[in-house]
Structure 1
Amino acid sequence: MPVVPGFLERLAFRANLAPSAILDVHGAASLHAVALADELGVLAALDGPQSVSSLAAGLACEEDALRRLLDALVAVGYADRSGDEYWRTRTTERWLTEGGDANLAPFARFWVDVVLPYWREHAARAVREGDPGASLYEWLGDDEAGWATTQAGFRAAASLLVDPVVDALGDYSGARVLDLGGGHGAYAVELARRGASVTLVDRPPALEPAREAAAEAGVDVRFVGGDYLTDDLWRQLVEPDLDSDFDPDTGPDGAGDADAGYDLVLLFNVLHGHSPAEAATLLDRAAAALAPGGKLAILDQFGRGGSSSLADVGVALIDLTYLITFGGGTLDADSVNRWLGDAGLSAVETKTFRRAPGVKLLRVEAPYPDRN
């Protein structure tokens, strides 16, 4: 875990007798150590006490160099040691491996391999001008490895919330669901597993990991590649001619009956990456795609922080990150309600989650019977 100062150290930091900024340096190094350990397979290999020599042989690492990485993991609480043997801690077991509650190691790798390199190139411009010049997604371009790392990171972060969020949505078995910008596929796959008929829309490079996740789960999800702000894509989404995967360059590869709209439209971690005008347009189009009685669900970060609590620190830092990566930011509730009203929609329920401070789920519906 990140470095936790002892009692006397905390007193020294609070009295400004020691440079508390050193903790930020330690935290950055710890993040890189976790990402490296995951990349090399160290975290997965530490499933019981093992000697450095056996680990080094199995992981194809130089023995003394691996020992130094392991000792760093011990220092920050991700591994334990007795003599020459190492094993992962309960923290690592629960939060950084596939068998735990959530595996956030791919999220660490996303930050190290994608976010921070992008940040170094674009942060100064974003703060000076209010816009990074090119979004993170534009920067990724056709980099397949970068997209795979990005979507694996998003999926890892989503793993904290998938079950409670889908539970909160209610029973959508047999319903038609449209997941806009759902690239990593975590929510689409879970809804499909629970019996929904799901169409997932995102940029083509973002879809391959979601296809793999759906295949691994043994569920059917239809994937639509394209920009959900374009008219051509929306015609494909609302017209009765798509019952299978669609590619904007070749058109649909099948035909079917699209009925009269979607019972549920998801906008999960999407609005923060758009300008107010784009967000308003997207909500208006999502509203038009709903079947009579259908609902829209918005999951995103709200607020700007403002106190010294850990939760507010996290929200403030993610707000800065959205500025740098997209020119966006965490959402303002008043702005969202105004956009919803302009689209003929109204939030009827808001849910928060203890595991993700600042994140809110808005369940939205048309307040008037004739909206659709």
Structure 2
Amino acid sequence: MPIDLPADEAEAFRSGHAPAPMLDLVGLMAAHAVRAGWELGLFDALGKGPLTTWELAAATRSDPAGIEQLANLLHATGYLRWDDGRHANSPAAGTWLRRDSPNCYGHVLSLWHTMIEELWTGLPEAVREGRPRGGFYTWLAAQPELRATFQNLQRGLAGWLAEEVVALTGLPADATSLLDLGGGHGLYSEAYCTAYPALHATVVDSVRLVSGHQRVTGRAADLLTGSLDDGHDVVLLFNVLHGFPSADAARLVARAARALRQDGLLLVLETTASDRAGAAERAFTAGFSVNLWHTQNGRVYPERQIEEWIAGAGCALRERHELTRSATHTLFAAVKGAS
């Protein structure tokens, strides 16, 4: 967590009179400390009440001297506070780092910490030579716990956004067939089928989906080379394009358009670098884009680029919605063959 700097110190760092990279160094230390605390169950132990160093060491089955050093850093970076001489969670830690909290962020931090630590090696050379490392999904497949965390995060995001997305874009009244390219978990397809009783959905991804919804079926295929049926009323490309190089992303939009019937509806949902987002969200989105580039040769694409791909695929943009539930997500709705 960023240090709560007094105004004069903050100004010194902003103006260049103090070394701004020092704050990044402290942030790096804090990230390691928070992950260690998370893995030790430190924040869960303090969720039951304030503890002395010895009590905290016993609760986490740790060495008292080691716990003292770790706790000192967590105090200095705002994750712990003192309560009558005992360690206690700060409001931020109590809300975001306890496993029993509905807002628990520890799994997110653990996943990103590992990705950056293991996959961002060679970043200077990749930038210099224009050759990203790649291999993200191969790396992820070899780590079952992180893969489960990644998949849960995808499902969590879809579960949060699906209601708004479905409400924003009305489907054609006679729609019966939806194709969901790269839909993975199938939650968006399930949400549309629930809202439209006549609709049947097919989710195409590298791994075949087994859905509990009776009108949602899965099929395993490569998104760029696998065969796709055509004549669909609706095609979804939700949070997919950013994982591909630009040429392949354009090809994927074109394939999605070809799978539509004339006047069919193409829906594209993507992370975008929106000015509506707060400073922290904008910074995270920039880092997310670096990670996409280095590990998948993708990136967060500008809205105008996505609109050009849609137009090039023979579809006319009908609507563009900036989601209220996520300031960094934009939904594009386009009609095939419309002028």
* Structure 2 unaligned spans of 5+: none
Contact 1:200 1:224 in 2 (8 A): yes
Q: Which amino acid aligns with 1:51?
A: L
Distance 1:197 1:62, change over 3 A: farther
Which residue does 2:226 correspond to in 1?
Answer: 231
Which residue does 1:246 correspond to in 2?
Answer: none
Which residue does 2:245 correspond to in 1?
Answer: 275
Percent identical pairs in the alignment equals: 29
Q: How far off is 1:281 after superposition?
A: 1.9
Q: Which amino acid aligns with 2:205?
A: D
Contact 2:321 2:330 in 1 (8 A): yes
* Structure 1 unaligned spans of 5+: 240-259
Q: Which amino acid aligns with 1:91?
A: A
Contact 1:177 1:265 in 2 (8 A): yes
Which residue among 339, 359, 363 is the counterpart of 2:309? 339
Q: How far off is 1:13 after superposition?
A: 1.2
- SS across alignment from 2:47: coil
Which residue does 2:205 correspond to in 1?
Answer: 202
Distance 1:278 1:334 in 2: 17
- SS across alignment from 2:121: helix
Which residue among 322, 327, 332 is the counterpart of 2:297? 327
Q: Per-residue displacement from partner, 1:248-291 (whole Å, max 9, x unpaired)?
A: xxxxxxxxxxxx63x54332221122223311221122223335
Q: How far off is 1:350 after superposition?
A: 1.8
Cα root mean square deviation, aligned: 3.9
Which residue does 1:128 correspond to in 2?
Answer: 128
Which residue does 1:30 correspond to in 2?
Answer: 30
Q: How far off is 1:223 after superposition?
A: 4.0
Which residue does 2:119 correspond to in 1?
Answer: 118
- The answer to whether the aligner puts 1:65 opposite 2:66 as a matched pair is yes
Contact 1:273 1:326 in 2 (8 A): yes
Which residue does 1:364 correspond to in 2?
Answer: 334
Distance 2:221 2:87 in 1: 47
- The answer to whether the aligner puts 1:288 opposite 2:258 as a matched pair is yes
Distance 1:314 1:143, change over 3 A: closer
Which residue among 288, 294, 299 is the counterpart of 2:269? 299
Contact 2:51 2:88 in 1 (8 A): no
Which residue does 1:108 correspond to in 2?
Answer: 109
Distance 1:351 1:69, change over 3 A: farther
Distance 2:42 2:97 in 1: 11
Contact 2:235 2:265 in 1 (8 A): yes
Distance 1:158 1:107, change over 3 A: farther
Contact 2:321 2:332 in 1 (8 A): yes
Distance 1:2 1:198, change over 3 A: farther
Corresponding pairs, count: 332
Q: Which amino acid aligns with 2:66?
A: A
Q: Per-residue displacement from partner, 1:75-97 (whole Å, max 9, x unpaired)?
A: 33334431354444443454455
Q: How far off is 1:19 after superposition?
A: 0.7
Contact 1:126 1:323 in 2 (8 A): no
